[in-house]
C-alpha cells in the first residue's frame, strides 16, 4: 500500500514536470521559472543547475543500473544450491580506489564550478555603469529607491535592458524595515535575503525587455504570499521616459483642478494618510507606507493584490483588509463621498 501511494505521488510529480512548459513563463503574469532566465545571473545559475542535474542523473543511472544488474544476475534459479554460503570476498583494492576517487572527482568538479560562479556573480555589481537601486522590504511591500536619480517608488521596479555593446547591470542594495524578507525574481537572479540591520547586495542584468514577476522568498507574516514584486525591463529610451515622469512634480496646480481632486487632497492631508504615505511636493511625507507620488504610473495596488483602477482603489480605501487581510493600513471608516474625493485625488497622482 505504501509503495502504491509512493508510486502515484511520483507519477503525479513527473507528470507535472512534463506538463510545465517553461516557455509559457516568458513575460507578464506568467509562471516565473528559473529554467527561463532573462538576466545574466539567472543564466549562470541555470547552467550550473543543469550541470548538477546532469551529473546527478548520470550517478543515478549508473547506481540503479548496477543494482538492477546484480538483482537480475543473482536471482533465484531452479539450480540454485542454498546449502552452502556463497564465496566470501575480503577487500578489493580496485573497488576501494574506484569508490573513493570517483566521488572525490565529482565533489572537486562541483566545487570548482560553483566557486567560479560565486566569484563571477559577486564581481559584476561593482561596474561603474551600474544603475544603483536600494530596495527595502516592508510587511508587505517593496520600497524602491534610486539614490542617483532621486526617485522613490514602490512595488514595481523599472530598469533598463542591458545590451551586449553597452552592458548595464543593476546593483541592488537590500535592506529590511522590519522582519526578514527575501528578494526573489526567479527569471532575473537567485534569492537574496533582506535582513534587518544587515545590508545585503545582489545584482541583475536583464537581457530582454518585458515584465518579470517576483515574490518575497522568506516567510514574513500573514501577507507574505501577497508581497509581490514586478520588474519592468525597458529599452533605454522607455526607462529614461519613466525616470523623467518619476522626477516630475506629482500633482497638478491646485487652482487648475477638479474640485473633487482638491477636496481629496485636503482630506488626504488632514486624515492619517499623510503620516504614513508621502506625496512629493506636498506636506505628506510619511515613510511607513509606500510613496504615492506617482501612484498612477503603477499597474497594481497593494503590492500586486489588485489592478490599479478606480474600483480597486475604492475597495482599498474602504477596507484594505478586504483585499489584503492583515495589512498594516487600517480601515479609515470613510464615508462614500470621502472615498470618492480621495479616489479622485489619488487618480490625479500621475
Task: Evaluate whether 152 touches 144 at the Cβ level (below 8 Å).
Answer: yes
What is the helix (H) or strand (E) element at residue 61, kind and residue range? helix 40-73
Q: Least distance from C-beta 180 to ligand CUA, angstroms?
A: 8
Q: Least distance from C-beta 220 to ligand CUA, angstroms?
A: 3
Q: Which is nearer to ligand CUA, 99 or 219 (CB)?
A: 219
Q: Which is nearer to ligand CUA, 221 or 286 (CB)?
A: 221
Task: Evaluate whether 204 touches 187 at the Cβ level (below 8 Å).
Answer: no
Q: Least distance from C-beta 139 to ligand CUA, angstroms?
A: 7
**DSSP of 99-143:** HHHHHHHHHHHHHHHHHHHHHHHHHGGG-TTPEEEEEEEETTEEE
Q: Least distance from C-beta 173 to ligand CUA, angstroms?
A: 17
Q: State the cell numbers at 10.
A: 511520483
Q: Which is nearer to ligand CUA, 179 or 332 (CB)?
A: 179
Tally the C-alpha atoms within 13 A of residue 89's C-alpha that lie toward its C-beta. Answer: 5
- Which residues bind to ligand CUA, rule: CB under 6 A? 137, 140, 181, 216, 218-220, 224, 227
Residues 6 or more apart whose CB falls under 8 angstroms from that of 166 comprise: 129
Q: Which is nearer to ligand CUA, 26 or 321 (CB)?
A: 321
For 245, counting Cβ atoms within 10 Å of its Cβ (0-12 exposed, 13-18 middle, 19+ buried), the class is: middle
Q: Least distance from C-beta 156 to ligand CUA, angstroms?
A: 16
Give buried/exposed letters for 145-172 (b at 16+ CB in 10 A, else e).
bbeeeebbbbbbbbbbbbeeeeebbbbb
What DSSP state is assigned to residue 161?
P
Identify the CA nearest to 274 among candidates 258, 293, 261.
Answer: 293
Q: State the cell numbers at 235.
A: 529599452
Tell me the β-bridge partners of 138: 141
Q: Least distance from C-beta 224 to ligand CUA, angstroms?
A: 3
Q: Which is nearer to ligand CUA, 202 or 279 (CB)?
A: 202
Q: Least distance from C-beta 194 to ligand CUA, angstroms?
A: 8
Q: Which is nearer to ligand CUA, 145 or 228 (CB)?
A: 228
Q: Which is nearer to ligand CUA, 212 or 268 (CB)?
A: 212
Amino acid at each position: 500500500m505504501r509503495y502504491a501511494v509512493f508510486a502515484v505521488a511520483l507519477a503525479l510529480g513527473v507528470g507535472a514536470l512534463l506538463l510545465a512548459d517553461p516557455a509559457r513563463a516568458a513575460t507578464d503574469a506568467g509562471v516565473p521559472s528559473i529554467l527561463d532566465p532573462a538576466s545574466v545571473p539567472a543564466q549562470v545559475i541555470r547552467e550550473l543547475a543543469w550541470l548538477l542535474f546532469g551529473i546527478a542523473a548520470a550517478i543515478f543511472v549508473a547506481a540503479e543500473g548496477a543494482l538492477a544488474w546484480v538483482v537480475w544476475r543473482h536471482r533465484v534459479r531452479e539450480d540454485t544450491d542454498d546449502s552452502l554460503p556463497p564465496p566470501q570476498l575480503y577487500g578489493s583494492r580496485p573497488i576501494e580506489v574506484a569508490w573513493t576517487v570517483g566521488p572525490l572527482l565529482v565533489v572537486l568538479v562541483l566545487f570548482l564550478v560553483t566557486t567560479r560562479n560565486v566569484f563571477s556573480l559577486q564581481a559584476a555589481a561593482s561596474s561603474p555603469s551600474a544603475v544603483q537601486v536600494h530596495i527595502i522590504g516592508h510587511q508587505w511591500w517593496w520600497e524602491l529607491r534610486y539614490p542617483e536619480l532621486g526617485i522613490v517608488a514602490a512595488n514595481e521596479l523599472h530598469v533598463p535592458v542591458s545590451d551586449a555593446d553597452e552592458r548595464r547591470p543593476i546593483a541592488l542594495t537590500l535592506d529590511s524595515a522590519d522582519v526578514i524578507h527575501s528578494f526573489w525574481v526567479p527569471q532575473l537572479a537567485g534569492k537574496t535575503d533582506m535582513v534587518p540591520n544587515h545590508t545585503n547586495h545582489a545584482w541583475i542584468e536583464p537581457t530582454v525587455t518585458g515584465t518579470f514577476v517576483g515574490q518575497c522568498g522568506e516567510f514574513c507574516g500573514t501577507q507574505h504570499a501577497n508581497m509581490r514584486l514586478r520588474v519592468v525591463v525597458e529599452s533605454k529610451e522607455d526607462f529614461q521616459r519613466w525616470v523623467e515622469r518619476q522626477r516630475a512634480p506629482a500633482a497638478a496646480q491646485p487652482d487648475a483642478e477638479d474640485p473633487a481632486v482638491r477636496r481629496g487632497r485636503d482630506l488626504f492631508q488632514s486624515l492619517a494618510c499623510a503620516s504614513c504615505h508621502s506625496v512629493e511636493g506636498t506636506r505628506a511625507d510619511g515613510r511607513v507606507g509606500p510613496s504615492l507620488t506617482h501612484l498612477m504610473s503603477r499597474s497594481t495596488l497593494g503590492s500586486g493584490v489588485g489592478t490599479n483602477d478606480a474600483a480597486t482603489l475604492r475597495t482599498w480605501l474602504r477596507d484594505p483588509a478586504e483585499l489584503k487581510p492583515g495589512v498594516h493600513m487600517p480601515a479609515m471608516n470613510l464615508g462614500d463621498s470621502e472615498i470618492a474625493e480621495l479616489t479622485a485625488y489619488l487618480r490625479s497622482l500621475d
